[in-house]
Structure 1
Amino acid sequence: MSLDLLNQLEEKVATTINALDKLRQEIDQLKEENADLRAEKQVWEEKLNGLLGKFSELETAAQQTENFSEETPADENEEQRVSSWS
């Protein structure tokens, strides 16, 4: 009977070792996948920051154009007044 118990214990140990090996493989696979996802996230963040920078540039350019447009009619009116005095 002692031999039966040892055989059962050996089977359980072998099963546990196999389960641990599978879990280690899964952990390695998940670590690789995690690294890939982090790299992909970094790329997306860089792209997003680039787009946000472009939007900021467009907004600045639009504000400058708006400011220029507001100044231009006053300048044209001033030119008309000056030319009418002549």
Structure 2
Amino acid sequence: MDILINCHLFSNSEIEFDIDPTEIKSETELNKIIAFMKSISKQLRKQIFLTGENDQEFPLITIDETSNVAHFLTKAEAVKKWKS
């Protein structure tokens, strides 16, 4: 199954892609999303984030190909964030 990625261009400096998380049913599909994020980060030379709906302050995945950084939110970080 392919994952549908919608693109929204808000301004010259803000682009949003959205996906339906229920379409991600395997590690292979998650890896496709991560590869897409890495590709976008590399092309734009910017750090990019995957967040929950309307939650820019709480990134679940952070990718920065220019500095070769990928961070996945841990359970401990999520619990700490949700408590605050």
Range into which the TM-score falls when normalised by the shorter chain: under 0.3
Bigger helix fraction? 1
Bigger strand fraction? 2
Structure ID, larger Rg = 1
The alignment's TM-score, normalised by the length of structure 2, stands at 0.24
Structure with the larger RCO, 1 or 2 (CA within 8 Å, 6+ apart) = 2
The alignment's TM-score, normalised by the length of structure 1, stands at 0.23
